[in-house]
A and B are shown apart, each in its own frame.
Chain A
Amino acid sequence: MDDRKSVLRKWELFKVVCRAFFIQNLWSFERMQAYGFLYCLLPVIKRLYTDREGRASACRRHLEAFNTHPYLASFILGVSIAREESHARGDEPDVSQVPSVKSSMMGPIAGVGDNLFWVSLRPFLALLGVSVVLLNWDAPQYGLLGPMVFLALYNLLHLYVRWVCMVGGYRGDIKVVERLRSLNHLRIVRALRVTSYLLVGAVAALKVGTVGAGGRGLPKAALAFALMVSIAAASRIKATPAKMMALVSLLCLAGGYLGWVASF
């Protein structure tokens, strides 16, 4: 693998890494990330093909329908760059299967990325950040730590994954995706969810405040907990947030008029 002569310079690869931040721009229902993917590869196409027909043919290849997780798309970008480079060098005369290689990878990679980033990591870290804010409700100078912790932890992993995927894809190192996929089945992700539940419960309890002597605050705590679980259950039966918000506002309106929620 290493004995191949590279046609591309580091500069083109660096440009692709930077352009990968725009892969979702111009996302359309017709071909999804197709334009974004092509936009990322433009510096490579420009370098590898000097004739008009070669460039047009490469552009057509990468303007096919494509959609995957935006961070892990870097891996497929890396693979595509390697294929195009190999074709330009003359090692791989037929590149007509490149779109089908991309399509075969985009589904599994989207599954890994969506589970890891959108479903597990982002909600968890956001919750962690919000918890810091809610616990320092009257002291915003400390509450600001919440968004900072969220941004720092999330982007540390996000940027690292983007870089590793791009380099791994270019070098044909499939272990990168395997390693990411293994995370979904590890107990650490399960532990992440357990901690999230504990965190939601703890933050809700801290917002309720102390129960007080003789359990005077217990009805208030029970009401808050019931409200939270009802909202979660309602979202399971496809009640939209808009409807839920309208319902809560109406309940408050009724409660405010009758005077039984004013002391919440």
Chain B
Amino acid sequence: MGSLVGGALALDTEAAFQFMISRPLVCGPVIGLLLGDVGTGLAIGAILELLNSGNLLVGGRTPPDASLATAVATSIVLMDKSYLGSDAKNSLLGLSIIYSFYMGILAGRLEHLFKTKVNVWFLRRARSYAEDGRLSELARLNWEGLGLRYFKNFSLAFVSALVGFYPIRAVVSLMPPWSEGLWRSLYLILPFVGLGSALKAFGMDRLFWFLPVGFTATLFLGSLGRMDIATTIILASAAGLSALLLLRFTFGLTFPPGGRRQQGGG
């Protein structure tokens, strides 16, 4: 079930729509909901979203397939829920996320191969139909390509989940007692690794100094017992900025009021 839905959602990455339903943050809870545990899907999705947020689909780059990775990790964890209530939960989550992260990289490589070989084959067919002005055959190629890509996504997610499921369960059940601390730590550390990776998406220039400002200010407010204020201020300003951006584009409103100066140098 996870592979069926994950394969379809992964189409949104590049082939169709690009509504961002393929992002791990969305894909995780959707598959989690289908497999009966939204919370676990949401947690996996959030971590994988951060880990993959620096990967941009720009130009000819083919980044790792984050949605497939989310589908695989969520499926492995939720196929058998018996571990979720036990101490081994963190080990299972940590191992599944790491395994699926590498599967996402593999899926990205396969996608690259698809663009180099399979889509070029489709293009050659398109050129031959174009020479004859055969419009309906040209239109059909779109659906053939979409179907083939769905089959590739589904098969890869299904095989990866099956291949990973038993070894990961076996490793989790055979783990020595000392390693539980390791996996618990790793699972707790992963959000920080993800936040660090996410910074790549914003570049690291002079504005980088706002990072320690946000960190220390929140810690300070937290030590005063007012962490709720810090959270509210930051989330409200973030939502406000998004709204301003929308208004600026839609109605041509200037920010700050008074308008932008005439275009100068630079």
Q: Please say whether chains A and B are actual partners in one complex.
A: yes
Q: Which residues of A contact B (CB under 8 A)?
A: 21-22, 24-32, 34-35, 38-39, 42, 45-46, 52-56, 59-60, 63, 67, 70-71, 110, 114, 118-119, 121-135, 137, 140, 143-144, 146-147, 149-151, 153-158, 160-161, 179-180, 182-183, 186-212, 221, 224-225, 227-233, 235-236, 241-242, 244-245, 248-249, 252-253, 255-257, 259, 261-262, 264
Q: Are B210 and A119 in contact (CB under 8 A)?
A: no
In the complex, whether B138 has a CB less than 8 A from a CB of chain A is: yes
Q: Is the interface of A mostly helix, strand, loop or mixed?
A: helix
**Interface contact B196-A232, CB-CB below 8 Å:** yes
Q: Which residue of A lies closest to B40 (CB)?
A: A140
Q: Does B174 belong to the interface (CB within 8 Å)?
A: no
Contacting residues, chain B, for A259 (C-beta < 8 A): 178, 181
Q: Name B residues whose Cβ lies closer than 8 Å to a Cβ of A.
A: 14-21, 23, 25-26, 29, 38-39, 42-43, 45-46, 49-60, 64, 98, 101-102, 105, 115-116, 119-120, 122-123, 126-127, 129-133, 135, 138-139, 141-142, 145-146, 149, 178-179, 181-186, 188-189, 191-204, 207-219, 222-223, 225, 227, 230-231, 234-235, 237-239, 241-242, 244-246, 248-250, 252, 255, 260
Given contacts A140-B42, A197-B214, A207-B191, contact A183 B248 (CB under 8 A): yes
Nearest-neighbour CB distance to chain A for B53, whole angstroms, equals 5
Q: Assuming the A-B contacts A24-B15, A30-B120, A200-B211, are A128 and B185 also in contact, with contact meaning beta carbons closer than 8 angstroms in the complex?
A: no
- Note all chain B residues with C-beta closer than 8 A to A188: 241, 244-245, 248, 255
Given contacts A55-B135, A202-B217, contact A21 B16 (CB under 8 A): yes
Distance from B78 Cβ to chain A, minimum over Cβ atoms (Å): 14
A3 to chain B minimum Cβ distance, whole angstroms, is 27
Q: Is the CB of B249 within 8 A of A157?
A: yes
Q: How far is the CA of A264 from the CA of B191 in the complex (A)?
A: 13
Contacts of A228 in B (CB 8 A): 192-193, 195-196, 199
Cβ of A140: which chain B residues have Cβ within 8 Å of it? 29, 38-39, 42-43
Partner of B138, one of A39, A209, A229: A39
The 12 listed contacts between A and B (C-beta, < 8 Å) are A39-B138, A45-B135, A59-B130, A59-B131, A67-B60, A180-B249, A198-B234, A201-B218, A228-B192, A232-B197, A253-B182, A261-B181
Answer whether A157 and B219 are a contact pair too, CB < 8 Å, given A123-B202, A244-B193. no
CB pair A205–B219 under 8 Å, yes or no, is yes
From the candidates B39, B135, B195, name the one contacting A203 in the complex (CB within 8 A): B195
**Bound state CA distance, A39 and B212, in angstroms?**
49
- B15–A22 contact, CB under 8 A? yes
Docked Cα-Cα span, A39 to B149, in Å, equals 17
Query: How far does the alpha carbon of A38 sit from the alpha carbon of B168 in the complex, in Å?
Result: 46
Q: A21-B17, A26-B142, A146-B25 are in contact. Are A256 and B185 (CB under 8 A)?
A: yes
Closest 9 CB pairs of A and B: A256-B182, A201-B214, A231-B196, A262-B181, A55-B133, A140-B39, A59-B130, A201-B215, A198-B214
Q: Are B239 and A194 in contact (CB under 8 A)?
A: no
A57, B181: Cα distance in complex, Å: 67
- A157 and B139 contacting across the interface, CB-CB below 8 Å: no
A227, B193: Cβ atoms closer than 8 Å: yes
Tell me whether B126 and A35 are in contact (CB under 8 A): yes
Contacts of B215 in A (CB 8 A): 201-202, 204-205, 221, 225
The residue of chain B having its C-beta at the shortest distance from the C-beta of A115 within the complex is B58
Q: How far is the CA of A215 from the CA of B79 in the complex (A)?
A: 43
Q: Are B49 and A126 in contact (CB under 8 A)?
A: yes
For B133, the chain A residues whose CB sits under 8 A away are 52-56, 59
| Cβ of B67 to closest chain A Cβ, rounded Å | 13
Return B211 CB to nearest CB of chain A, in Å: 5
Which B residues are CB-close (under 8 A) to A155? 19-20
Residues of A within 8 A of B119 (CB): 26-28, 35
Nearest-neighbor residue (CB-CB) of B188 within chain A: A264
Contact B217 A38 (CB under 8 A): no
CB distance A187 to B202 under 8 Å?
A: no
Q: How far is the CA of A255 from the CA of B194 in the complex (A)?
A: 19
- Partner of A232 from the list B130, B199, B234 (CB cut-off 8 Å) is B199
Contacts of B217 in A (CB 8 A): 201-202
Residues of B within 8 A of A38 (CB): 126, 130, 138
